[in-house]
């Protein structure tokens, strides 16, 4: 009966989402960084070449007879066409006079530095990178500045940046996809210890309260330590309550024996029929209490012994015969005949004391619920690798609908209101059978009234 567990969120999903968000942010950042670096590089290289070209032109200038001499070097323009097929514009000015080139080409606004000065502007409906540089030439009394302005369109750079953007986008996407795959694997592998722990805990039997021994990741140590300590406390608490019950039963049984002896003595002394009847009633109640205490002790013992099960060969025929002998006096009191039917050899491996306890409880039950002057048969048989001890009586039978419930502690049939009992007998038998790898079968006799209870154990 597992209580409902409330769940909120998922470690795997949270891990995935966080990793993917991180990867997306990184991929986008990567894209923009690559793009901006590429832009910077492309702009720088264009600036460098423009500066080299403009200084190559300036180097050819001189003044002769107060007039500017200029020999535009072919290399100045051909180096510009080396990086891209961009349009080129130029203008040369001497002092305030326009010398040659494109007279409407704008001049870069100069600051205090020596130049060259760069700017990005629009010329002839196209974006151009423009550079202006100066050189002072001696002309007459005062030096005059010759100023060369060179401009180049940026189509090539735009194409290059487009290509780099596409590459960067592909790179970013590739990065994101690989991280997504890695994130999936990482999320799966990081929750696998939790799954392993869950499996190892849920695979356990109902009484397995051993601490988890398999190594777990560092982060799970507190959880597993808490689980282990919880199970330890649970086990201690269970043991304590079993011990308490056994102790209590034991303490009750001894004084009960004294009380019974005294009651019997008193019984013999009193003579009035009504007094005798009430004392008989008293003795019967004392017997029931003592029997219940005995069964509780039995149960405690079974619980203890199944934890440390002895493994020895047991001859079931001998065991059955001995048990019949032992219970004979009690059956005789009620004039019930115990018949042992042995259908060949049958033996198993197990704990003799437990098997005796199981069989005794079943026979005890049978005697208790059988009418006086009837027969109880115990059959020892075997088939298909199992040995069976089948007890059938002529009693009131069992409510079969309830068969499974009868195996649980303190459960009693709906039809036994009048008979005193603890409800532990079948529980003990069931636990013993299961501890030995066998089972307990509860049925009603097919012919006539009475119950038929079978203990089955694997053959040796």
Q: Taking a C-beta distance cutoff of 8 angstroms, is the pair 150, 54 a contact?
A: yes
Could you say which of 43, 126, 288, 402 contacts another protein (CB under 8 A)?
A: 126
Tokens 């009484």 belong to: 207
Distance CA 437, CA 203 (A): 17
Whose Cβ is closer to another protein: residue 99's or residue 245's? 99
- To another protein, the closest distance from the beta carbon of 78 in angstroms equals 4
Distance CA 250, CA 231 (A): 28
- Would you state the structure tokens that stand for residue 301, as one six-digit string? 């013992």
101 binds another protein per the rule CB under 8 A = yes
- To another protein, the closest distance from the beta carbon of 146 in angstroms equals 12
- Would you state the structure tokens that stand for residue 169, as one six-digit string? 């986008």
- To another protein, the closest distance from the beta carbon of 88 in angstroms equals 4
85 binds another protein per the rule CB under 8 A = yes
Whose Cβ is closer to another protein: residue 85's or residue 262's? 85
Q: Taking a C-beta distance cutoff of 8 angstroms, is the pair 305, 354 a contact?
A: yes
- To another protein, the closest distance from the beta carbon of 33 in angstroms equals 31
65 binds another protein per the rule CB under 8 A = no
Distance CA 198, CA 303 (A): 27
- To another protein, the closest distance from the beta carbon of 152 in angstroms equals 8
78 binds another protein per the rule CB under 8 A = yes
Distance CA 42, CA 159 (A): 11
122 binds another protein per the rule CB under 8 A = no
Q: Which stretch binds another protein (CB under 8 A): 9-17, 73-81, 104-112, 251-259?
A: 73-81
Q: Taking a C-beta distance cutoff of 8 angstroms, is the pair 357, 432 a contact?
A: yes
**Binding residues with another protein: total (CB under 8 A):** 23
Report helix angle 74-83 to 11-59, nearest 10: 170
Query: Using omega within 30 degrees of 0 as the cis cutoff, is the peptide bond preceding 296 cis?
Result: no
Give the distance, in angstroms, between the CA of residue 424 and the centroid of all CA atoms in the same chain.
Answer: 38
Whose Cβ is closer to another protein: residue 100's or residue 343's? 100
72 binds another protein per the rule CB under 8 A = yes
45 binds another protein per the rule CB under 8 A = no
Burial class (CB within 10 angstroms; exposed 0-12, middle 13-18, buried 19+) of 361: buried
Q: How far apart are the first and last CA of the chain?
A: 36
Q: Taking a C-beta distance cutoff of 8 angstroms, is the pair 410, 424 a contact?
A: yes
Whose Cβ is closer to another protein: residue 78's or residue 343's? 78
Whose Cβ is closer to another protein: residue 55's or residue 190's? 55
In terms of Cα–Cα distance, which of 353, 378, 321, 318 is closest to 435? 353
Whose Cβ is closer to another protein: residue 85's or residue 241's? 85
121 binds another protein per the rule CB under 8 A = no
437 binds another protein per the rule CB under 8 A = no
99 binds another protein per the rule CB under 8 A = yes
Whose Cβ is closer to another protein: residue 155's or residue 288's? 155
Residues that bind another protein (CB under 8 A): 70-74, 76-78, 80-81, 85-89, 92, 99-101, 124-126, 155
């Amino acid at each position: 009966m597992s209580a409902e567990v409330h769940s909120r969120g998922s470690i795997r999903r949270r891990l995935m989402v966080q990793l993917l968000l991180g990867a997306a942010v990184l991929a986008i950042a990567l894209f923009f960084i690559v793009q901006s670096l590429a832009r910077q590089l492309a702009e720088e290289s264009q600036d460098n070449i423009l500066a080299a070209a403009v200084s190559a032109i300036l180097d050819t200038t001189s003044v002769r007879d107060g007039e500017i001499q200029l020999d535009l070097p072919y290399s100045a323009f051909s180096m510009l066409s080396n990086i891209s097929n961009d349009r080129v514009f130029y203008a040369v000015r001497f002092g305030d006079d326009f010398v040659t080139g494109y007279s409407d080409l704008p001049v870069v606004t100069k600051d205090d530095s020596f130049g060259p000065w760069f700017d990005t502007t629009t010329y002839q409906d196209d974006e151009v990178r423009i550079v202006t540089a100066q050189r002072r030439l001696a002309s007459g009394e005062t030096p005059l500045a010759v100023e060369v302005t060179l401009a180049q369109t940026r189509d090539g750079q735009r194409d290059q940046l487009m290509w780099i953007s596409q590459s960067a986008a592909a790179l970013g996407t590739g990065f994101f996809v690989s991280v997504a795959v890695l994130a999936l694997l990482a999320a799966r592998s990081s929750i696998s210890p939790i799954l392993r722990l869950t499996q190892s805990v849920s695979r356990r039997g109902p009484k397995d309260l051993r601490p988890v021994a398999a190594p777990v990741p560092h982060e799970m140590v507190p959880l597993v330590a808490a689980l282990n300590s919880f199970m330890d406390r649970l086990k201690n608490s269970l043991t304590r309550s079993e011990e308490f019950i056994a102790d209590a039963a034991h303490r009750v049984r001894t004084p009960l024996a004294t009380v019974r002896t005294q009651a019997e003595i008193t019984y013999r002394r009193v003579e009035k029929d009504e007094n005798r009847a009430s004392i008989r009633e008293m003795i019967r109640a004392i017997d029931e209490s003592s029997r219940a205490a005995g069964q509780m002790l039995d149960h405690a013992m079974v619980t203890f012994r199944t934890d440390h099960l002895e493994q020895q060969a047991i001859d079931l025929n001998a065991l059955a015969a001995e048990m019949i002998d032992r219970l004979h006096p009690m059956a005789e009191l009620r004039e019930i005949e115990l018949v042992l039917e042995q259908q060949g050899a049958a033996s198993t491996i197990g704990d003799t004391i437990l098997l005796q306890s199981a069989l005794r409880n079943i026979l005890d039950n049978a005697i208790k619920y059988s009418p006086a002057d009837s027969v109880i048969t115990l059959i020892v048989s075997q088939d298909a690798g199992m040995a069976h001890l089948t007890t059938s009586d002529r009693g009131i039978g069992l409510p079969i609908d309830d068969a499974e419930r009868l195996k649980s502690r303190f459960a009693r049939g709906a039809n036994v209101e009048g008979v005193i009992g603890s409800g532990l007998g079948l529980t003990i038998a069931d636990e013993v059978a299961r501890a030995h790898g066998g089972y307990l079968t509860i049925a009603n006799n097919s012919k006539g009234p009475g119950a038929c209870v079978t203990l089955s154990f694997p053959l040796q």
